[in-house]
C-alpha cells in the first residue's frame, strides 16, 4: 500500500530526474549528460569495483579526521562549558572559526604538511571541530540548574554531577553537533581531494572532467552526495531513536 507521502516522494524524485533526463536529451549544455547515461556509468563503476576502491581512499581522511575532531572537540567543549575561565580563553577562537571561511587555510596546510594524508585529515578537522566544540559547550552550559541542584541536594559529588547529570542531559545536543561535524567533514574531505591531490572520488571527478567523460563525472558526484545524505540521515534516525525526538542541534 502506497502512502500519500511516499507517493509524493517518488513523484518529486521522478520530476527532478525526469527534468535532468530531458535537459540532457535536448542538449542544454554539451557537458550535461542525461540522467540514464550517468546512472549507467555509475553501475559500470560499481560492477568494475572502481567506486569501492575510490571510497576507501576518500573515506580514510574523513573517518580519521572526524574521530580526532570528536574526541578533542567534545573534550574541549565540556571543559569550556564547565569552566568560566577556559570559556573566556577558548570560546572566541571557535566562535571565529565557526563564522570564518576556514577553507582559506588549505593552501597554508599544503605548504606546511605537503599533499599527503596529514593535510587532508587537517582539512576535515578544521571543518568539523568548531561546530562540535560549540554545540558541546552550549549543551553543557544549558543543563537545567534545577537538576544540578537536585543532584547536589542529594549529596552528589562534582564528579557525580558531571557524569550522571550534565553529560546525559547534554548528550542530545552533543550528538547533533557530531552529526553537523560529520556533515562539515564531508565538505572538507571532498574539498581536500579536489584541491590538494586527486585521490578516491575526487580523482574520478577530476580525471573524467579532463577526459570529458561527463557521465562518469556526474556518476561520481551523484554517488558521493547520495552517500553523504544517506549517512547523515541514518545519524539523524539514530538520534531520534536514542533521544526520542529530543534533538535540538545548532545548525551551522
- Output 15 or 163, the one with its CB closest to other proteins: 15
Q: How far is the CB of 232 from other proteins (least distance, A)?
A: 4
| Eight-state DSSP code of residue 34 | -
CB of 159 to other proteins, least distance (A): 24
Nearer to other proteins, 241 or 251 (CB): 251
* Distance, CA of 28 to CA of 14 (rounded, Å): 19
- Please identify, using beta-carbon distances, which residue of 233 and 248 lies nearer to other proteins: 233
Measured between alpha carbons, how far is residue 231 from residues 91, 182, 226 in Å? Answer: 30, 9, 8
Q: How far is the CB of 153 from other proteins (least distance, A)?
A: 27
Residues of this chain that interact with other proteins (CB under 8 A) are: 4-5, 8-9, 11-13, 15-16, 29, 31-32, 84-85, 87-90, 92-93, 95-96, 98-108, 110-112, 183, 186-187, 189-191, 194-195, 201, 205-206, 209, 214, 217-218, 221, 224-225, 228-229, 232-233, 251-252
Query: Cα(13)–Cα(31) distance, rounded to whole angstroms?
Result: 22
Unique residue bearing C-alpha cell 577553507 = 103
- Give the C-alpha separation, 68 to 56, whole Å: 18
CB of 239 to other proteins, least distance (A): 13
**Length of the chain counted residue by residue:** 252
Which contacts qualify for 194-200: CB closer than 8 Å, 24 or more apart? Answer: 195/106, 196/106, 196/110, 196/115, 196/119, 196/120, 196/123, 197/115, 197/116, 199/57, 199/58, 200/54, 200/55, 200/56, 200/57, 200/58, 200/59
70 or 123, CB closer to other proteins?
Answer: 123
Q: How far is the CB of 154 from other proteins (least distance, A)?
A: 30
- State the nearest-atom distance from the C-beta of 88 to other proteins, in Å: 3
Nearer to other proteins, 110 or 165 (CB): 110
Q: Measured from the CB of residue 28, what is the shortest distance to other proteins in angstroms?
A: 9
Phi-psi region of 213 (alpha: psi -120 to 50; beta: other; left: phi over 0): beta
Residue 159 dihedral angles phi and psi, to the nearest 5°: -65, -45
Is 216 in contact with 101 (CB distance < 8 Å)? no
Nearer to other proteins, 38 or 165 (CB): 38
Whose Cβ is closer to other proteins: residue 163's or residue 234's?
A: 234
Amino acid at each position: 500500500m502506497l502512502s500519500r507521502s511516499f507517493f509524493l516522494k517518488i513523484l518529486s524524485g521522478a520530476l527532478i530526474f525526469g527534468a535532468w533526463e530531458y535537459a540532457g536529451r535536448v542538449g542544454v549544455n554539451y557537458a550535461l549528460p542525461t540522467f540514464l547515461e550517468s546512472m549507467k556509468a555509475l553501475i559500470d563503476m560499481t560492477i568494475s569495483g572502481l567506486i569501492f576502491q575510490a571510497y576507501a581512499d576518500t573515506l580514510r581522511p574523513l573517518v580519521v579526521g572526524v574521530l580526532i575532531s570528536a574526541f578533542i572537540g567534545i573534550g574541549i567543549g565540556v571543559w569550556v562549558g564547565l569552566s568560566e575561565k577556559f570559556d573566556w580563553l577558548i570560546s572566541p577562537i571557535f566562535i571565529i572559526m565557526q563564522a570564518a571561511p576556514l577553507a582559506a587555510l588549505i593552501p597554508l596546510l599544503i605548504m606546511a604538511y605537503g599533499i599527503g594524508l596529514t593535510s587532508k585529515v587537517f582539512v576535515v578537522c578544521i571543518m568539523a571541530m568548531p561546530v562540535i566544540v560549540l554545540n558541546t559547550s552550549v549543551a553543557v552550559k544549558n543543563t537545567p540548574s534545577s537538576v544540578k541542584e537536585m543532584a547536589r541536594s542529594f549529596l552528589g559529588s562534582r564528579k557525580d554531577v558531571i557524569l550522571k547529570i550534565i553529560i546525559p542531559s547534554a548528550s542530545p545536543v552533543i550528538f547533533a553537533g557530531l552529526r553537523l561535524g560529520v556533515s562539515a567533514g564531508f565538505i572538507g574531505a571532498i574539498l581536500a581531494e579536489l584541491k590538494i591531490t586527486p585521490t578516491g572520488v575526487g580523482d574520478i571527478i577530476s580525471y573524467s572532467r579532463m577526459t570529458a567523460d561527463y557521465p562518469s563525472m556526474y556518476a561520481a558526484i551523484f554517488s558521493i552526495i547520495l552517500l553523504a545524505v544517506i549517512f547523515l540521515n541514518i545519524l539523524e534516525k539514530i538520534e531520534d531513536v536514542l533521544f526520542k525526538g529530543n534533538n535540538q542541534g545548532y545548525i551551522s
